[in-house]
Structures are given as structure tokens and as C-alpha cells.
Amino acid sequence: MSSNLYVPGLEGIVATQTGISMVDGENGRLVYRGCWAKDLVIGHSFEEAAYLLWHGRLPDSKELVQLKETLQTHRVLPVSIVRLIEALPPDLDVMSALRTIISGMGGNFQAWPPTIDDGIRLTAAVPTIIAAVYRRSKGLPAVTPDPKLDTVAHYLYLLTGTAPTPSQVAAMSAYGILTMEHGLNASTFAARVVTSTASDLASAVCAAIGAMKGPLHGGAPSEVLSMLDEIGTKSKAEPWLRERLERGERLMGFGHRVYKTRDPRAEALRTVTASLTSDDPWLDLAVHVENTAIRLLEEYKPGRRLYTNVEFFAAAVMRSVSMPAELFTPTFTASRMVGWTAHIVEQAANNRIFRPQSTYTGTLPE
């Protein structure tokens, strides 16, 4: 490959090798450490999937208990971090606050090399930080962590102070597993670049949060929610969708830049949400809209293979648990913390600093 080759956005350029995940857009496959991501959603917990990404294998029962106990221990924030949260402007957005607070936690982590243990500690603390910052912005006191709840149920509990229903936990667990890792995306690349300089874990994660904060990467699936809100009932689905397609408008939540076939994350979320529709009218509506839209897309755009992407069911899941729109990206961040920290540790283990070249387009001196 010529050193002068310029590819905008590095699209299609291989920048690293990884054993963490494989994203196969042509065939619609997503693999976590040798396991199909879609299979992890059925029969495995958030903690088991996280252990897999961190350690390269699923845990045995003793290791799973130990991981859960470690996560529970580090949910409680140090007094210094609680004071930092209280010192921030109450109207500061959650992602900016999270970035600042994690920077403030940097001194608690090993400088180099970054460790899985520090990644676990950070993954445990982030949901508590998000909930505390959000509730403070609403004039509400922070909820005291509950050691009896697993990671996903505990996050929902911290936001409201009320234990979530089993169907809410199941839907959010599926979402969390399917969003915790997705190859060398913008935020993961940012984390690996910072790590390649031999910087610390907190600095690398802050870089990743900065990338995730951008609407082109971590933007909330609000347009999907707006579509489902406008449809409202099953009886309105087909006429509403037909009207949009007749006008040549795009249906939000269908089609994907990477996946040229069915998005495996959407497929897995569909399987989970379909099993919960009897418990949740909103999920029931979402599944009906999806089925109707795919049928109509094949009618109006034959051969285009436009299927549901992960944003469609992410929106449905978020709505089913009454997640405020301002917490969509922070919630995405809480699960992606697992993938980021796994990549940070992997980068450090076989490190070479990233140093791409640039092509000068300015003028030369006379």
C-alpha cells in the first residue's frame, strides 16, 4: 500500500488486529471472543458477556460470583468523587459531567499498563455516576446503591429508586450486551490511540467519551421514537408507513452503513423483545411496526434488502423502560465501557503508537 494513499475517514483501512470482536457487515455477523453476540443475549447475563470480553472466555460459577461482588463493591463512589459531582454546574450535560468525573478518578488507577481490574472498577462506577448526575440535574437526591441487584437492574434502580420489572431487566440486559462492543468504531479507536501513547486508562476512556458524545456516533435514536410515537397504535401502522413510502421518505431504523444484510444486533434484540410483548404494550407495537415496515419496504423497494437496524429496537427498549432521551447516549456509554476497557488493555499488551501520515494541501514558500 502506498504511503501516499489518502482514504477519508480511514474507511476500509485496517489499523489494528484484535481478538475481542469481529464485525462482518457483508454477512451480518457479530462475534465476541469466539461467541456469536446474538447467542449471548439468550441465556447469559451482562456480567457473563463482560467477563468474556475482558478475559477471553465465559466465567465459571465461582468467577461469575466474584465478578458480581467486585462490581457491587465499586458501585459506591469515593467521597471525593461525590464532592466533585456536587461541585459541577447542575445544568451540565451528563456526558460532559461523566468525562470530567472520570478524569477526576484518574489518580485511582494504575498509570501503566492499564489493567482489567481497573476496567471493572470503572464499569461498576459509571452507572452510579450517570444516575447521580442525572438526578441532581432534576433536583433529586442520589439513590443509595443496592448490593442485591445485578448490574442492569441496579442501573435502572439508581435512576428511579424503584426496582425494575423482570421484562425491563431482560430488555435492557439484551441492549447492554449488544452495545458493549462493536469493533474499531470511532470511540474505541480514540481510546486505543490515547493508550498507544502509554497514557493511563482514565485518559483513554475520556477520549472515548469525547467521541461518543458526538451525535454522529452516540446520537440517540430519537427519530425512531418520534416515528413510533406518531404511529401510536397497530391499526395506524400500515397507513402511516405507506404514506411515508409513497412520498419517498426514509423509514427511520431501517438500513445500516456497515451491515449489508440483517443487523445481528437488531435480530437478537427482536428475539428478546418479541418474547416480552405480552408484558409490554410498547414492545408489542414496535414488533408490529417492524413486521409491517419490512413487508412494505420489499413492496416499494424490491431487492434493496432494507432491514431493521439496532437503533430501531434500541429505541423500543429505551422507551419500554421509560428511559429519558437525554440518557440514551450515557446509557450506551455505560455498556460500551466494557468494550473500551478491553481494547485499552489489549492495545497496551502489544503496543505501537499510532502515527498515520497526512498529505499537505497548502502552498509552498517562494
Task: Report, as residue numbers or ranges, the catalytic residues.
Answer: 256, 311
Q: Which three three-digit cell numbers place residue 349? A: 499488551
Axis-axis angle for helices 328-349, 201-212 (nearest 10): 140
Q: Are strands 35-36 and 21-24 parallel, antiparallel or unpaired?
A: unpaired
Helices (H) and strands (E) in the chain, counts: 17, 3
CB 21 within 8 A of CB 183: yes
